[in-house]
Structure 1
């Protein structure tokens, strides 16, 4: 099979982008790409997936299906990702055929929590105390090293609280280990933080970096509930957060959008929580509140274009819409659509389920405290009685 490499110049409109994974991130990337004049081909088991609804073509297959992934690679000029849960070995294979951005080496570092944490330690970046676990003896040793309370997290494929168990007492450890199936894991010490924030940035092929205003995130039941941007942080702390994210992106040689989640402590310290090598839920506010959305920015980066302007056009609050709101059918959207500052984004998912992200509401308001209040009012109005 011949190897197709991007030339010295950028991939211009008319080129074809391949997306591995058909979720909402791929959908919003696809909408941005089509507006710019690109074609989209997506790999997903379901032709009706959110990205498939806006794509030019769907290749049917899962994220571990090498034959289907190679079929997609033969149809496109560059491959990118909707999710980091794509086997890095598969990306190695695709890189023999077509440019893949971000590269397999980035995913190999990030998609395994132990490898990610070892990488961060190597950079000397602050994070919570942690220890690896592979067996029963390792669990006891990790508790002795890290202390309690702590969070037990599987090394791979956990997100939105899946594959995670909090351990308060040593006598609860064995049950927690059983709950995650005794899979390879890490143990992280619980920290008392003031808030969770994220830095969403894009890094281009030329190494240029564009950073969005830092976002403040609130989670409920391990799922992102609201994001507000800009986060109310002192300028010096913002600069430190940005420097951490920039260091990570540069050292990885990342291309595309990336999010770095951080804990902000009462004394002003910042601890890295997690890295996501893709567009991110906490960056959805940019889709309407920034000069260039994270989705257009990602397309620009992976196509080798100059990065767009990340400056904010408005303060913003993003409210996630979770499957429970569909318990009695479609929620009463008139409550959202009646508000001039609100923008409704639905992802085209055909089967609502508890804990499933179905859409979000964006509220544009420079008074983000007021917007947070409106978000809670809207959530109450949308919630079944």
Structure 2
């Protein structure tokens, strides 16, 4: 189906968290409705036209949900492949399940990206304790041991300072199939937010400089210090990944910048087949945000402009940070976005604030 969905059409979203919430709000601006499918009621349910609560393993319920919508997308990358396949048997799923399959498995992801000729950190598969020593010899003794699946925001990974630490780390990960990544001495991290339309048109947002705290994204600042030359190369790399996945929608590609003298100054860390936390600044610094452009793409609409009209720093509100909402709401040149979550737990993303400045 290549025809654009008209206003009044319904987009199904697998997942009910804050990304789904912001997608639904953006869709409403275009006259599009959203139907949420989630296993746990979340903030997206509060703003969508309709919601279905059920397990992602209930493929019959997923198919019934897909019968009520015109196209399906998702707001998190750990949607079970069986759920995506069940939805796709009834309605188009954008991005396609291939993107999910690649992003859900770190070994699959790194193998896929490397096969495209795009640099990634040295890596080795660890399926059992017997693989630990060969993996260390292959990638070096310092690095990060990561589970192949279900890790995010610093979860499911342990830093390694020597090969002697590997057995204990593997035990801490409960012997889950893992990947050992070699240490990369990078200068800083940036991300590419690329949006690809149903017809294959590709656009990019400006690259933010990202900082982390306790394994969770803390700030994203635009403009980044990356040169125009290297920013262009980063966009080429992200576009290559999007094309290889036949991707539709917004794709986040996290990258390390190793410095101008490195043989390959940019290296892909990981991809996220969805709108991305480092793109939340686009809600206030761009005419068309990443959320609106994602919905435009999955609905077959023309893409909106990705240019920005301001410099901006996005700061995540984690846990108790949200308790300062009154002061943040009173802050000049700051746009506050809260996700409607009832409990501020440590490490939980409760909202974000975008602090704008005139474009430099």
1:362 matched to 2:354? The reply is yes
1:16 matched to 2:10? The reply is yes
Across the aligned residues of Structure 1 and Structure 2, the Cα RMSD in angstroms comes to 1.3
Query: Which residue of the partner structure matches residue 299 of structure 1?
Result: 295
8 Å contact kept, 2:63–2:89 = no
Distance 1:312 1:203 in 2: 18
Which residues of 2 match residues 1-385 of structure 1 at below 5 A?
Answer: 6=1, 8-47=2-41, 49-266=42-259, 267=261, 269-325=265-321, 331-366=323-358
C-alpha distance after superposition, 1:305-340 (max 9, x if no partner) = 1100000011110000001335xxxx2323222222
Distance 2:186 2:73 in 1: 34
Distance 2:272 2:62 in 1: 22
Distance 1:185 1:332 in 2: 39
Distance 1:358 1:265 in 2: 32
- Relative to the length of structure 2, the TM-score reads 0.96
C-alpha distance after superposition, 1:174-213 (max 9, x if no partner) = 1100111111110101111110000001000000011000
Distance 1:333 1:97 in 2: 43
Distance 1:258-1:39 versus aligned 2 partners, 3 A rule:
same
Cα drift, residue 367 of structure 1: 6.8
Tell me, what secondary structure is at the counterpart of 1:118?
helix
Gapped regions of structure 2 (runs ≥ 5): none
Distance 1:220 1:122 in 2: 32
Gapped regions of structure 1 (runs ≥ 5): 1-5, 369-385
- Relative to the length of structure 1, the TM-score reads 0.90
8 Å contact kept, 2:309–2:359 = no
